[in-house]
Amino acid sequence: MITLDLHRLCEIKGITHPHAFLTAKGISHRTATTMLNGKGKGLRFAHLEKLCRIYHCMPHELFNYKPAGRGIDPSNDVLSPLRKAPLKTQGLNSLIASLPPDEIIHLSEEIQARYHKPSEPTEDLQPKDP
């Protein structure tokens, strides 16, 4: 069965209050509740797109797959890439909170260096001399 797995994604991203997070991002209370409790029977494409933008992720990262039934050969199952292993680490916020301040600063600098996109060169807006 394919399921929407927002709790896992929230844990990875350090979001401690998933419902409040979703409603603050424009998802209705009712829809957020349905998405988080796993009771929904479907997902609208508009919500799928919105979730991808909210969580800054690809659609496949929102889902988890657990084979429902016998006779499914895992080596031949086209849905197996959707299977997610249980998280083995503590939440990101807890991990960062356990670090000394100088290590947090160093980690922040490493992350900035790795993921910071260089700004686009801007053209000189001053008129050029002929």
pLDDT, position 123:
53
Q: Where along the chain do its domains lie?
A: 2-85, 87-117
- Whole-angstrom Cα distance, residue 59 to residue 2? 12
CATH class of 2-85: mainly alpha
Higher-confidence position of 45 and 97: 45
pLDDT in tens, 22-69: 999 999 999 999 999 987 888 999 999 999 999 999 999 999 988 877
pLDDT, position 61:
92
Taking the whole predicted model, whether its pTM rises above 0.75 is answered as no
Residue 120's identity, in one-letter code, is E
